[in-house]
Amino acid sequence: MPEIRPMRADARRNYERLLTVAAVAFAEHGENASLDDIAKRAGVGSGTLYRHFPTRQALLEAAYLDRVEAIAARADALAEHLPPGEALMAWLHELCVGSLQVRGLKALVGSAVADGGPAALTVCGTSIKGAAARLVGAAQREGTLRADIEPIEVLRLAHGVATASELADGQGTHIHRYLSLLAEGLRP
């Protein structure tokens, strides 16, 4: 097994600078922000960017990893204070709102819940799917969610809710209504 060496100090600085600039660029321009512009704004060459992040998806995930893990952690926090069905719906609401407020996050979540998508087996995808599985399982045991629903289906439907709300007004003001309609269809 090859030895994994720690990153040199200059490489670590470049990596961190790329993540900081990428988060700003994705927030400004969405998931299709120019990678060349990100490299230029970070003061590095495109080769350095691709050495650290071989794909746009890898950079997007790294830039939003902390945010995605915080969303996943909210599932457990909500589950501690709310009945299972309410915790699931509150978490889905937060996931949808976050997906619209943070440009590029909806695309990352969408690829994580797509069959065989590039983020399906990533840390972000694993975090979101794990949180959904815990909440869905608890709601099913409580009897407030149909037993034949899979967590991935709930995530895909929530992604659809965020997309529908974005299409309606671009602000997400319809998320609560659309989630209420979804919840009606998911009840036993």
Distances (CA, A) of 37 to 55, 177, 180, 182: 15, 39, 41, 40
What confidence tens digit (pLDDT) does each residue in 16-68 have?
999 999 988 988 888 889 999 999 999 999 999 999 899 888 898 888 888 88
Asked whether 123 and 63 are in contact (CB, 8 A), the reply is no
Residue range 123-137: mean pLDDT, rounded:
91
Instruction: Say yes or no to pLDDT of 77 above 90.
Output: yes
Instruction: Say yes or no to pLDDT of 110 above 50.
Output: yes
Per-residue pLDDT, 116: 56
Q: Where are the domains of the chain?
A: 1-54, 64-186
Architecture field, domain 1-54: Orthogonal Bundle (1.10)
CATH number of 64-186: 1.10.357.10
